[in-house]
Amino acid sequence: MTNFYAELDQVFTQHAGSPCLKVPGGLQWTFADLQANVGGLAAVLKSHQVEPGDRVVVQVDKSPQNLALYLACLRIGAVFVPLNTAYTPAELDYFISDAEPRLFVGRQTRSDVPTLTLDAQGGGSLITQMVAPQVSTAGVPGVAPRKDNDLAAIVYTSGTTGRSKGAMLSHGNLSSNAHDLTAAWGWQQSDVLLHALPVFHVHGLFIASHCALLNGSPMVFLPKFDVQGVQEVLGECTVMMGVPTFYTRLLADESFPRQPLDHMRVFICGSAPLTEPVFEAWEGRTGHRILERYGMSETIINTTNPLDGERVPATVGFALPKLELRIADEQGNPLPAGEVGTIEVRGPNVFSGYWRMPEKTADEIRKDGYFITGDLGTLDAQGRLSIVGRGKDLIISGGYNVYPKEVERLLDEVPGVKESAVIGVPHADFGEAVVAVIVPDNADLQLQDVLAPLQDQLARFKQPKQLVNVTELPRNTMGKVQKNVLRESYAHLFA
Ligand code: AMP
């Protein structure tokens, strides 16, 4: 295999005149339009001396041009580094220093690195430079030869120690998973994807987009998820991919669905646990059994419920055909069916390691190549996986990962806070909500007292939604804070 973009480019040529991407009330692209934009943006990148292997860090709003920029990076062999738009400038400083990009594409310019801009409407210096004489006369650069294991993207995930880790994904990782998902989900050219996910995360950028792009199918590209927007376009789509929050929010709208959904081929869900009540409510309301799957930044998709066959709520289905999956003890020894252990995976979709973190990589990828996901699960006799918890203290709020340590470190610096413990508790809308349990120095603190100093430091989705004052934190004999006790005590905070 070569450059993953070479495969996509063939599809774009083959379906040149077909609809590719439509923003409701906004622009519509054919595959030829997408291809032309990718070519134009590749030329702009080249004019900034972006070479194969160079990183391009991108923190911009979702737009078709944003997607084209990702593909342009693939085309020239650059490494695409998408960042959540919620990250604050302080967080961005870290990503820039860690990724050392040749170029930054953002909503605003920076002084420490060459910057181009791209706004929510698809305007900005990135776009105006497409018609600059030195860019247009240089022409569209060819598709850079790449090998399977050459780096295509770095996706930052929150770090257990507070520092984000960059998962390194190769052209081979992207290509193999895109093909496996096409097969598993019976993707057809006649499908129309409802794309309401952000494109800074593997779910929207790779999982959803690749299925549509690789099959020459159109997508309805919503700038963001909102119930009204989804209701308006659902009638023209056949596949929706979302996080559980999408499903709970749609169910919370009594007018949903406005019309029968017989034309929908499949509703796919993942990135966080989908509860059985939501699965059942969805089936009751729409007649569709949601297809739940399981993946992560480091591996894209690992397992999926079957398209044809029983979709069992609260399970995440079977390993993709080329993936080896085991439930293991702490030493990596496989455990028998029915026992709970850590989910470990090995296969062509599994990343090669964390960017410039050889020790972390060695901690999480075993010598035999299995990646220790940190999720706890159990396999039944047929090989169907259920996730029963997480080994790490990870919180998943609205589909986004929050590592408590990062929040606790900042909370502990807030005047009046003696110590803190951050937990996730069940929340109807977000799945889990971030809660700060603090021991105050003297007087009790209010949520707004701790939020003010966090505003500039921490993305909104990581900020606590509730604060609880306690006189001391529960600890085990080793002095470790018992998060499980806290999670139980405050489980009904949002009930
Ligand atoms: P991320 O790297 O942001 O994609 O987050 C990956 C994590 O999300 C996984 O390690 C799991 O803990 C969780 N996750 C993804 N899909 C599911 C699912 N279907 N059910 C439960 N947890 C999930």
Q: Is 202 in the pocket of ligand 1 (CB under 6 A)?
A: yes
Instruction: Collapse the DSSP code of 486 into the 3-class scheme (helix H, G, I; strand E, B; otherwise coil) and give the result.
Output: helix
Higher confidence at residue 293 or residue 442? Answer: 293
Cβ-based neighbours of 333, under 8 Å, separated by 6 or more: none
Cα dihedral 220, 221, 227, 229, rounded to 10, equals: -70
Q: Is 296 in the pocket of ligand 1 (CB under 6 A)?
A: yes
pLDDT above 90 (res 484) = no
Nearest-atom index, ligand 1, CA of 298? 2
Helix axes 244-252, 276-286, angle to 10 degrees: 50
The residue nearest atom 6 of ligand 1, judged by CA position, is 296
CA 449, 450, 451, 457 dihedral sign is: positive
Instruction: Collapse the DSSP code of 30 into the 3-class scheme (helix H, G, I; strand E, B; otherwise coil) and give the result.
Output: strand
How do strand 19-22 and strand 219-221 relate by DSSP bridges?
parallel
Say how many C-beta atoms besides its own lie within 10 A of residue 97's C-beta: 10
395-489 and 1-226+295-392 share a CATH fold: no
Nearest-atom index, ligand 1, CA of 390? 12
CATH 3.40.190.10 correct for 1-226+295-392? no
Cβ density class 225-260: b for 16+ within 10 Å, e for less: beeebbbebbeebbbbbbbbbbbbbbbeeeebbeee
What is the Å distance from ligand 1's center to 19 Cα?
32
CATH architecture of structural domain 395-489: 2-Layer Sandwich (3.30)
pLDDT above 80 (res 339) = yes
DSSP assignment of 31-79 equals HHHHHHHHHHHHHHHHHTT--TT-EEEEE----HHHHHHHHHHHHHTPE
What is the Å distance from ligand 1's center to 301 Cα?
10
Q: Is 401 in the pocket of ligand 1 (CB under 6 A)?
A: yes
Higher confidence at residue 396 or residue 284? Answer: 284
Q: How high is the pLDDT of residue 110?
A: 92
pLDDT above 60 (res 340) = yes
CA pair distance 438, 206, nearest whole angstrom: 38
Out of 375, 388, 397, mutate this one to test ligand 1's pocket (max ligand atoms within 8 Å of CB): namely 375
CA pair distance 376, 224, nearest whole angstrom: 31
Q: How high is the pLDDT of residue 94?
A: 94
- Summarize pLDDT for 349-408 with one digit per residue, the tens: 999 999 999 999 999 999 999 999 999 899 999 999 999 877 767 899 988 888 888 898
280 contacts 257 by C-beta, under 8 angstroms: no
Q: Is 270 in the pocket of ligand 1 (CB under 6 A)?
A: yes
Span of 56-60, 144-148, 210-214, 484-488 with lowest mean pLDDT: 484-488
- Summarize pLDDT for 422-479 with one digit per residue, the tens: 999 999 999 999 999 999 999 999 999 999 999 999 999 999 999 999 999 988 765 6
pLDDT above 90 (res 412) = no
Higher confidence at residue 390 or residue 200? Answer: 200
Q: What is the mean pLDDT of the chain?
A: 94
What is the Å distance from ligand 1's center to 294 Cα?
6
Q: Is 241 in the pocket of ligand 1 (CB under 6 A)?
A: no
Q: What does the pLDDT average to over 308-318? A: 96
Q: How high is the pLDDT of residue 478?
A: 58
pLDDT band at 290 (very low <50, low <70, confident <90, very high): very high
pLDDT above 70 (res 162) = no
Cβ density class 126-152: b for 16+ within 10 Å, e for less: bbebbeeeebeeeebbebbebeeebbb
Q: What does the pLDDT average to over 220-238? A: 97
CA pair distance 293, 267, nearest whole angstrom: 11
pLDDT band at 89 (very low <50, low <70, confident <90, very high): very high
Q: Of 276, 356, 373, 262, which Cα lies nearest the Cα of 315?
A: 276
Cβ-based neighbours of 89, under 8 Å, separated by 6 or more: 456
Q: What does the pLDDT average to over 37-51? A: 98
Q: What does the pLDDT average to over 109-118? A: 95
Nearest-atom index, ligand 1, CA of 293? 19
268 contacts 293 by C-beta, under 8 angstroms: yes
Q: How high is the pLDDT of residue 161?
A: 55
H or E element at residue 11: helix 4-14
- DSSP letter, residue 431: E
Share of the chain above pLDDT 90, in %: 85
DSSP assignment of 190-212 equals T--EEE-S-SSSHIIIIIIHHHH
Q: How high is the pLDDT of residue 393?
A: 76
pLDDT above 60 (res 160) = no
Cα dist. 487→76, 395, 405 in Å? 47, 11, 16
- Which amino acid appears at position 368 of this protein? D
Q: Where are the domains of the chain?
A: 1-226+295-392, 395-489
Q: Of 411, 7, 428, 371, which Cα lies nearest the Cα of 178?
A: 7
Q: How high is the pLDDT of residue 392?
A: 64
What is the Å distance from ligand 1's center to 215 Cα?
26
Share of the chain above pLDDT 70, in %: 98
pLDDT above 60 (res 1) = no
Q: How high is the pLDDT of residue 100?
A: 98
